[in-house]
Structure 1
Amino acid sequence: MRGLTLAAVAVAGLAVVACDSAPRPPYTPGVCYAVTPAADGKGQAELSVVARDQPQIEFCAARLEEMRLRFLRMGGSRREITGAYQGQYIFIDRIGVSFSRTLDGNRFIALARTGDGRLAIPAAIQRQIDGTPIAVAAPPPAPAN
């Protein structure tokens, strides 16, 4: 009976591993990649080195944004760029910059676009960094005599 239970657990574990066939981003320290999806949507994505010796993921996002803007200035039409840095995917689109561990998983917004198109830290993150209050209340009115 115990052998049957172990066999069932092993088969279930193999089934979970087999279902996890999503491409993993490379984990090369300090290397920033641009990810180009396969033309048919089913093949392996193509990785191109954009920059080396990048100390943080935000620097890689800046290099990808720089690449995106250069392509647009040369007449390109791609407004969304996907990149990879040390095991995480970077997505740059009209909303801003977001990170994810998978191509189709949940995304964490790291930088948001301002009204003029620049990238900035979202207000909620900035409040946590410098302690800026959400709203400042006006002083109470003077008591009536």
Structure 2
Amino acid sequence: MKTKFAIIAAVGFATLAVAGCEKPVEAPYDTGVCWHVAPQKDGKLKFNSLAKNVPNVENCAATLEGMRIRFNRMGMNQQQMVGAYQGNFLFVEREGIFVSRGLKSGRYLALVRTGDGRLAVPGAMPQ
């Protein structure tokens, strides 16, 4: 029983060691550029420039949301989308827009959806 546990533990640590060697994907740091992030068949990510001269992360999030809505009008039924802005990843989710420094890092809520589906700063709308 102890050897079985030791083998399982060794395989688990080896897996963590290999996963730890992966270089994390970084979002582009171009000033004022809003990106749409598209996964490729080979597992890599493609960064497509969506808008330039974007003043802040909230406007980039709104641009991504507009893109999602246009895709849905074309019949794609896209509920989630990933974007990037000045080194941060933006995640368009059903609950709102989340921002993170990495794809697998912790996310914080930047914009929430109101009752009618619009985006607002958390706490700006009455409960």
The TM-score with structure 2 as length reference comes to 0.78
**Residue pair 1:23, 1:44 contacting (<8 A) in 2 also:** no
CA distance in 2, matches of 1:58, 1:116: 18
- Structure 2 unaligned blocks of 5 or more: 1-16
* Residue in structure 2 matched with residue 32 of structure 1 by the alignment: 34
Note the aligned Cα RMSD (angstroms): 2.1
* Residue in structure 2 matched with residue 106 of structure 1 by the alignment: 106
Percent identity over the alignment? Answer: 45
**Residue pair 1:83, 1:89 contacting (<8 A) in 2 also:** yes
- 1:39: how far off? 2.8
CA distance in 1, matches of 2:60, 2:122: 18
Larger of the two Rg values belongs to structure: 1
CA distance in 1, matches of 2:32, 2:122: 25
Give the counterpart letter for 2:33 in structure 1.
V
Give the counterpart letter for 1:68 in structure 2.
R
- 1:38: how far off? 2.6
- 1:20: how far off? 5.1
Higher strand share: 2
* Residue in structure 2 matched with residue 143 of structure 1 by the alignment: none
* Residue in structure 2 matched with residue 122 of structure 1 by the alignment: 122
With a CA cutoff of 8 Å and minimum separation of 6, indicate the structure with the bigger relative contact order: 2
C-alpha deviations, 1:93-113, integer Å up to 9, x for none? 101001000011110101111
CA distance in 2, matches of 1:107, 1:38: 23
Correspondences of 1:71-110 after superposition (within 5 Å):
71-110=71-110
CA distance in 2, matches of 1:94, 1:32: 20
- In the comparison of the two structures, how many residue pairs are matched? 109
